[in-house]
Structure 1
Amino acid sequence: MKLDLTGKRAIITAGAQGIGRRTAEVFAAAGATVYTCDLDVDALEDAKATIPGLQGVPCDVGDAAAFQDFMDKGIETLGGLDIMVNNAGTAGPTAPVEDVSLEDWTACLTINLTSAFLGTQKAVPALIKSGGGSIVNLSSAAGKFGFPLRSPYSAAKFGIVGFTRTCAMELGPHGIRVNCVQPGPVEGARIDRVIKAKAEAGGISENEMRTKMADVTLMKRFVTAGDIAHQILFICSEAGRNITGQSLSVDAGLEGLA
């Protein structure tokens, strides 16, 4: 099955690293023109130099005014919009709920949930003008099972599920599909930082924590950024034209979070 995005215009937030970068790569290979942002200027410049046709600017999605300006510039640069991928996220604090500061709670929800709201809000008029399209929000297995010592992150990712379903109900009549993807632990620098923090909080080694997290999957392994990117490609392509309002797990059969 050929998953073709030829002629499609896509915005992907935080597209210079991890899942965002891999998604930008797969989209570009499928024929889409991609506009992105990232906090890491060096990573962004490297992505733009490496991924054919990729455009973008540095932006902190936690700054509402700057993010809205980014969205306006992206839609203008692309000449419209067909696909919006709200990928930006942050791990947030690792601590018992009673020790989480309001500042850390707010920052985590702002990046993981409010940015998806703002991105969607800006994308919708452009998608309607294009005659329809696709929005993909990044949730997490933490938005399905809960995640001990990560209450802000889990709350945000559960919020993405409800936001996604509601937007799908509102936007279906406009030909706009809205889905979210729920990755399990994804290999890379981000999960390494999470493993380190949880290992320290639990008083065990990082290797023990990594094994513990892999052992709660049916396949006894983590997934890759490519696994997530290809799921996003599928639901944004014509092959996924009747998939909307769904929370799609890509997690090697995760049965809970360690």
Structure 2
Amino acid sequence: MKVLITAGGSGIGYAMGQAFSEAGAQVWVTDLDISSVPASWRASKVDASDEAGMASLFTEVDSEWGGLDVLCANAGIAGPTAAVEDVALADWKTCVSVNLEGAFLAAKYATPLMKRQGSGAMVLTSSTAGIYGYPNRAPYSAAKWGIIGLMKTLAMELGPHGIRANAICPGAVEGPRMEGVLEREAGAKGMTRDQVYEGYAKGTSMRSFVEARDVANMAVFLGSDGARLVSGQVIAVDGHTENPDPKV
């Protein structure tokens, strides 16, 4: 199995790389920082929202691998935390570009490789913010909703070619990126970081944050033959989010 993961240099993408590698797959990751990528993986420094860079990447993947079995379109940024009237258009565009256009470009250039072989699986990383919406996170939420619309369309359009598409919606994932979100939300809401953290945990029926490996395990399943008829699905890995506006 040949797997390409965007934003695989850290966080969820890195955990996906580890999980696929342990499952016996060949792994190729992209990121802006690939310094921590194991020597056993292929790695390319590429901005997921740069079309020329992405086109070149997939040409290289095709040249070296001759095809692609699984695409994990995982690149994303948190974007601003602010009331909608305070969001700068430039910040909106940057967030949507990386999160949504990055997924579109990955799918666009993976499609010809998968069509040629008559098979493939695309796993797009959305978010629970793409299911419920989220106060003070308009650009991020809009982009993550867009990913679900993109995925649904890919599943319908590419299914006749043997290609599946699904979206994973992680909840609050432990790690540096989430720490930044906690700090920003604490400032915006006049709360402490720990109060916001507790609010997120209480907002799930399982009273827990998610670990990156939980999301990675779902990606491996969706890329496997065990999910051969799973397509067009929005799958939350979030401990069952009950409350999309965390508060104590």
TM range (shorter): over 0.9
Map of 1:165-204 to 2, 5 A cutoff? 165-204=152-191
Specify every segment of 5 or more residues in structure 2 that has no aligned partner in the other structure, as ranges.
Answer: none
TM-score by length of 2: 0.96
Structure 1 partner of 2:225 = 238
The alignment partner of 1:89 has SS state of coil
2:127 and 2:228 map into 1 onto residues whose CA distance is 23
Structure 2 partner of 1:153 = 140
In the alignment, is the contact (CA less than 8 A) between 1:33 and 1:78 conserved in 2? Answer: no
1:61 and 1:25 map into 2 onto residues whose CA distance is 20
Structure 2 partner of 1:123 = 110
What CA deviation, in whole Å up to 9, does each residue of 1:12-71 have, x standing for no partner? 00101011001001111111111111112xxx232223xxx3101111112221222222
Amino acid corresponding to residue 15 of structure 2 in structure 1:
R
In the alignment, is the contact (CA less than 8 A) between 2:54 and 2:109 conserved in 1? Answer: no
Following superposition, the deviation at residue 72 of structure 1 comes to 2.0
1:22 paired to 2:15 = yes
After the TM superposition, which parts of structure 1 deviate over 4 Å for at least 4 consecutive aligned residues? none
Identical pairs, percent: 42
1:98 and 1:70 map into 2 onto residues whose CA distance is 38
1:179 and 1:148 map into 2 onto residues whose CA distance is 25
1:83 paired to 2:70 = yes
Structure 2 partner of 1:46 = 36
1:47 and 1:83 map into 2 onto residues whose CA distance is 19
Amino acid corresponding to residue 215 of structure 1 in structure 2:
K
What CA deviation, in whole Å up to 9, does each residue of 1:152-185 have, x standing for no partner? 0000000011110111001110000000000000
2:65 and 2:43 map into 1 onto residues whose CA distance is 11
The alignment partner of 1:167 has SS state of helix
Amino acid corresponding to residue 12 of structure 1 in structure 2:
I
1:46 and 1:72 map into 2 onto residues whose CA distance is 24
Amino acid corresponding to residue 177 of structure 1 in structure 2:
R
The alignment partner of 1:47 has SS state of coil
Following superposition, the deviation at residue 78 of structure 1 comes to 2.1
1:10 paired to 2:14 = no
2:220 and 2:48 map into 1 onto residues whose CA distance is 23
1:109 paired to 2:96 = yes
What CA deviation, in whole Å up to 9, does each residue of 1:68-117 have, x standing for no partner? 22222223222211111100000000111111111101100010000111
Structure 2 partner of 1:97 = 84
Amino acid corresponding to residue 38 of structure 2 in structure 1:
K
Q: Give the number of equivalent residue pairs.
A: 245
TM-score by length of 1: 0.93
2:62 and 2:106 map into 1 onto residues whose CA distance is 11
Structure 2 partner of 1:4 = none
1:185 and 1:37 map into 2 onto residues whose CA distance is 23
Map of 1:62-77 to 2, 5 A cutoff? 62-77=49-64
In the alignment, is the contact (CA less than 8 A) between 1:59 and 1:67 conserved in 2? Answer: yes
